[in-house]
């Protein structure tokens, strides 16, 4: 009788645990909805995009809202970008904001700003898991406009200072390529406006070595343009 009771209790506990997990999945907040709830008045949520060439040339856009383990390994943090007041105004500021969930509620913990700049290229914001780091990094590519190019920044959370950019100084770049490798992420930056026609100056290559991004020699065959994305 006691054994049967124990088995019954264990079965009930297992069922309740599964129901609890399922309920959490159902009630998980939508990141875009959460991000919109933190937008200040008279601002516009930024967009990311990618270009599809087949079966026809189209541009696919979606809100610039990402989810990653920014503050710690277990956190589901939200990173989103917005413009104040609007992207099409002459004077505007690009904001990148970090939200962290505590006690079931999201709180704004950090914001960086880029005055008179916009998110430039396809996938201008992306989560980067870097070998040797306990948390995710966030890559942001921003600039004044397509003609002048932009710069890549890679932010990592450092207590108590907040986001710190760990990528070497760069600017007026027009093409940005990310290559996950077993030895570490490789990044290629090109200042050429039309790399398919103009290969000067050549792209600059960096590699993540587990502690920092270091400049490396261009890999064999990397002079062929355009580089694959």
Each residue's pLDDT tens digit, 129-170: 999 999 999 999 999 887 788 999 999 999 899 999 999 999
Which secondary structure element, helix H or strand E, spans residue 23, and what is its range?
A: helix 2-27
105 DSSP β-pair partners: 102
Mean of pLDDT over the chain: 84
Phi, psi (5° rounding) for residue 186?
-110, 140
CA 41 to chain CA centroid, Å, is 24
Q: Tokens representing 146?
A: 């397509």
Residue 200 confidence (pLDDT): 61
Look-up of token digits 């970008």: 81
Class of residue 38 by CB neighbours under 10 A (exposed 0-12, middle 13-18, buried 19+): middle
Residue 24 confidence (pLDDT): 44
CA distance 87 to 66: 19
Alpha helices in 28-101 (DSSP H): 31-37
């Amino acid at each position: 009788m006691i054994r049967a009771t124990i088995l019954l209790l264990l079965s009930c506990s297992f069922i309740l645990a599964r129901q609890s997990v399922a309920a959490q999945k159902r009630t998980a907040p939508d990141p875009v909805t959460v991000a919109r709830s933190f937008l200040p008045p008279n601002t516009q949520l930024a967009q990311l995009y990618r270009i599809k060439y087949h079966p026809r040339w189209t541009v696919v856009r979606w809100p610039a809202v990402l989810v990653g383990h920014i503050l710690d390994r277990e956190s589901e943090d939200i990173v989103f970008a917005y413009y104040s007041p609007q992207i099409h105004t002459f004077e505007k500021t690009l904001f990148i904001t970090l939200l962290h969930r505590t006690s079931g509620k999201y709180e704004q913990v950090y914001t960086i700003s880029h005055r008179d700049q916009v998110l430039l290229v396809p996938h201008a914001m992306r989560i980067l898991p870097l070998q040797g780091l306990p948390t995710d990094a966030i890559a942001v590519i921003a600039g004044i406009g397509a003609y002048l190019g932009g710069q890549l920044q890679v932010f990592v959370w450092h207590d108590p200072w907040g986001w710190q950019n760990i990528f070497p100084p760069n600017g007026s770049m027009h093409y940005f390529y990310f290559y996950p490798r077993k030895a570490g992420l490789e990044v290629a930056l090109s200042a050429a406006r039309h790399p398919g026609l103009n290969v000067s100056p050549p792209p600059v290559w960096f590699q993540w070595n587990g502690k920092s991004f270091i400049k490396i020699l261009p890999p064999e065959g990397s002079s062929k343009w355009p580089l694959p994305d």
